[in-house]
Chain A
Amino acid sequence: MVIKSPQFHARLHRAGEAWQVFARNRLALVGLGLVLLLAVLALLAPWLAPFDPTQGELLSTRLLPPSGTHWMGTDDQGRDILSRLLWGSRITLFIVVLVAVLAAPIGLAVGTAAGFFGGWVDQLLMRLTDIFLAFPRLILALALAAALGPGIENAVLAIAITSWPPYARIARAETLSIRQADYIAAIRLAGASNRRILFGHVMPLALPSLIVRVTLDMAGIILTAAGLGFLGLGAQPPSPEWGAMIAAGRAYVLDQWWVAAGPGVAIFVVSLAFNLLGDGLRDALDPKGSD
């Protein structure tokens, strides 16, 4: 039908405008830059890391403070922390991207369907969402990780399954406000099917809020993975997953502070980056600053 082409142009124009607003926000650019830096570091980790992240000597290189050879010191197995951080950035990116890729679409689908169709579909989906929301998140992730077995993939799955409910709620809220809009009625009058309206119009409009929320949640996701490590599940040793490194480092916090400080600062910087990025996105996509 004729509707597609002008719509496409309009979207492109809007995206261009959004980018201009975004680019004017210096902090958002910093955030974007940091995220890109993370991606680059993750990619180049094998060449950047000065030592093997899984090798260490108990007798000679254990728990060394930061120095010229080991910029961030060594951990309780004698492994270089900087190298582990670099290699671990791959895992962090993996976790974060995978959870986003799994949780966001589920949340989007459930939320928009609930908001769009209303009635018993809404009730059923929202009850389902409530069930997962009401469940203590860490407990659910813990239980799932325990049931699925060790390994970072299962931990990611567990975190993803507990992460989608808030996205569903956001998507639903957005859908409810979009649904009544005039132009939706117009498209419907023109004969567009429910599916087209849902996929072609409602979802794309609900997407920005969702993206913003997902980026803001990144820190929480990484920390949930760390929490799992703290409670005994998650990445398998000797994997240099940042959360597991912090969990392991907590026993040394009082005397060998660098063991937990390294991954702690890394997580903070990445969270900051995603947070700045998310804020910038939100400000660009909806300058009035609404949720």
Chain B
Amino acid sequence: MPLRRRHLLLSALPAVLPAVLPAHAQTPRRTLVQAMAIDDMISLDPAENFEITGSELIGNLYERLVQFDLDDPSRLSGQLAERWTVSADGRGYDFRLREGLRFASGNPLTAAEVVYSLQRAVRLNKTPAFILTQLGWSAANVAQRVRQTGPLTLSLSVREAFAPSFVLNCLSSTVASIVDQRALQARPEGWLRRNSAGSAPWVLRDWRAAEIVVLDRNEAYYGAKPRIERAIYSHVKESSMQRLMLVRGDVDVARNLSPQDITALAANPQIKLTRIAKGTVYYISLNQKNAYLARPEVREAFKWLVDYEALGTTLIQGIGRPHQNFLPHGLLGASDAAPYRLDVARAKALLAKAGLPEGFQVTMDVRSSQPVQGIAEAVQQWAGRAGIRIEILPGDGKQTLTRYRARKHDLYIGEWGADYWDPHTNADTFARNPDNSDGAAQQPLAWRNAWAIPQLTRETDAALLERDTARRAADYERLQAQFREQSPFVMIYQQQQVAAARAGVEGLRLGPTSDTTFLAPVSKR
């Protein structure tokens, strides 16, 4: 019996072997296949979604009233809106929609649906709702504040005379996506998490968690249809895997490449790289609850203990640019001032001034992912030279976040991405802390690090109401100057996103926010 079994197995081998040799790898024509880590997706309901992959998909599945120009994000234009006016007191916005708008289902898109979508997001009050509720809308008043005034016209009223670019940018974010009311009514609750009901050039065909997302072309699109019929996001976690698949031709685009893989692919004539500076900044923050870290000299000393340039040419090369301010480059009022560099002697002098000439011991919560972990190890070395002994506490991303939000850390290395393309998005979290107590309702990053800043908070609030663009930019530059000097944040770099595509892919363009990478213009030769 064993003999025969063995013979059977051996004789099966020649039959199996040719089956194993695959045909030449090639992605289907008119299908765009992207390798990307998509396991962060939780929900595709625009009123619920807040993570990166979901935002990119929602950006392609739904449309909004306004959008900004990818070439010049300070210029806003209408997407679903044809035109709009701002009232004299700055608190009223009247929109007029374009004619002939339709959802993918065929249902017409009128002002009623726009009003419904905005009200829905506010009423559900999930995580991203703050972008709309900060305009002064709540479940109680949204029916009066967001009103339909005609079949194609609607009127919005906001709490204060905010800078118009701020309001419009909020309306361009994913939470303000317009959903198909009629299609939703027939469905059970929670249906929108896993299905799409939008008007954009794409519809959701399939989503298998941590495996694949498939978008099909919206055949009923009212405008110019994409040249590609299907867009697939294939979950591939490792950068080296993405690179191998790209080189082999099994995918058309790779989206999460590490610096080494980017360098290697840059030398490959069959691969094209596209980059964009993203609205995400990385930082190390010092919990002011720690007595050592609360001293102003210590706060400054840390800023002299990072070799920004060295990081820029090694650990973050290709995926980031050293940046020492909380507003990413590209936002109104962004500053490129970079007063700090590695200067151990200076840091030591500052520590001595703070009464800590021998240095001290402190912990750092670090996510076990790159490049964050590498940066933390490098900082550990540099700080060590000044006598600060950093103990790294590695953990999974959500674990470290739980501790961070509970203010239990000493040092924390993290990042913050712009939620909408207006400077208030970052100022709101870095330079604003209305209530520093433990039970505070709002918990911006400044709060998480127990940084009490009543004056800066007032200045941030004022900058939000400045309607003159040039003056507003100056306001934010002043804010950032103070921030650079006093804050417990060591701003390190701004993220740069890179996509590597095979030579035949054209029209792929990354956006500065996670929801502005549009697939409609893409084509394959």
Contacts and interface: CB of A to CB of B under 8 A. Distances in A.
Interface of A: 54-56, 58-59, 62, 76-77, 146, 149-150, 231-234, 236-238, 248, 250-256
Interface in B210-263: 238-240, 243-244, 258, 260-261
Interface in B15-55: none
A270 B392 CA distance: 28
Interface stretch (B108-116, B122-130, B153-161, B372-380): B372-380
Contacts of B261: 254
Nearest to B399: A146
Nearest to B240: A254
Given A54-B381, A254-B264, A76 B394 contact: no
Interface string B463-497: 00000000000000000000000000000000000
Nearest to B373: A237
Given A238-B392, A255-B260, 13 more contacts: A58-B311, A149-B393, A150-B392, A232-B367, A232-B395, A236-B394, A237-B366, A237-B377, A237-B394, A238-B380, A252-B260, A254-B244, A254-B264
B455 interface: no
A251 B370 contact: yes
Contacts of B313: 59
Given A58-B310, A58-B314, A146-B399, A238 B391 contact: no
B307 interface: yes
B413 interface: no
Contacts of B315: 58, 76
B442 interface: no
A56 B394 contact: no
Interface of B: 238-240, 243-244, 258, 260-261, 264, 307, 310-311, 313-315, 366-370, 373-374, 376-378, 380-381, 391-396, 399
B264 A255 contact: yes
A150 B378 contact: no
A248 B370 CA distance: 9
Is chain A's binding surface mostly helix, strand, loop or mixed? loop
A254 B240 CA distance: 7
A184 to B, nearest CB: 38
A78 to B, nearest CB: 9
Contacts of B240: 250-251, 253-254
B378 A58 contact: yes
A236 B394 CA distance: 7
Contacts of A59: 307, 310, 313-314
A233 B394 contact: yes
A64 B421 CA distance: 42
A62 B376 CA distance: 16
A-B complex: 3 closest residue pairs judged by Cβ atoms: A232-B368, A58-B310, A58-B314
A236 B391 contact: yes
A150 B394 contact: yes
A147 to B, nearest CB: 10
Contacts of B310: 58-59
Contacts of B311: 58
A236 B392 contact: yes
Contact of B393 (A77, A150, A250, A256): A150
Nearest to A238: B377
27 contacts: A54-B381, A55-B381, A58-B307, A58-B311, A58-B314, A58-B315, A59-B307, A62-B314, A77-B381, A146-B399, A150-B394, A232-B368, A232-B369, A232-B395, A233-B395, A234-B394, A236-B391, A236-B392, A236-B394, A237-B366, A237-B373, A237-B377, A237-B392, A238-B380, A238-B381, A253-B240, A256-B260
A248 B377 CA distance: 12
Contacts, number: 74
B320 to A, nearest CB: 14
A210 B290 CA distance: 49
Nearest to A76: B374
A80 to B, nearest CB: 14
Q: Give the most central of B369, B381, B391: most A CB within 10 Å.
A: B381
Contacts of A236: 391-394
Contacts of B368: 231-233
Nearest to B368: A232
Contacts of A56: 381
Given A58-B315, A146-B396, A150-B394, A251 B381 contact: no
A250 B369 CA distance: 12
Nearest to A77: B377
B394 A254 contact: no
A238 B307 CA distance: 18
B288 to A, nearest CB: 24
A254 B247 CA distance: 13
Q: Give the most central of A62, A77, A253: most B CB within 10 Å.
A: A77
A248 B374 CA distance: 9
A54 to B, nearest CB: 7
Nearest to A60: B310
Contacts of B394: 150, 232-234, 236-237
A251 B239 contact: yes
A56 B381 CA distance: 8
Contacts of B374: 76-77
B314 A251 contact: no
A255 B260 CA distance: 8
Given A59-B310, A236-B392, A251 B378 contact: no
Contact of A150 (B369, B376, B395): B395
Contacts of A255: 260, 264
Contacts of A231: 368
Contacts of A238: 377, 380-381, 392
A150 B363 CA distance: 12
A5 B378 CA distance: 62
Q: Give the most central of A149, A231, A237: most B CB within 10 Å.
A: A237
B263 to A, nearest CB: 8
A252 B244 CA distance: 13
A77 B380 CA distance: 11
A231 B368 CA distance: 8
B396 A232 contact: yes
B242 to A, nearest CB: 11
B260 to A, nearest CB: 6
Contacts of B260: 251-252, 254-256
B515 to A, nearest CB: 28
Contact of B380 (A233, A237, A248, A251): A237
Contacts of A234: 394
B378 A77 contact: yes
Contact of B258 (A58, A146, A232, A251): A251
A27 to B, nearest CB: 29
A146 B395 contact: yes
Q: Give the most central of B258, B315, B394: most A CB within 10 Å.
A: B394
Contacts of B264: 254-255
Nearest to A234: B394
A269 to B, nearest CB: 25
B365 to A, nearest CB: 9
A76 to B, nearest CB: 6
A55 B213 CA distance: 44
B397 to A, nearest CB: 8
Nearest to B313: A59
Nearest to B366: A237
Nearest to B365: A150
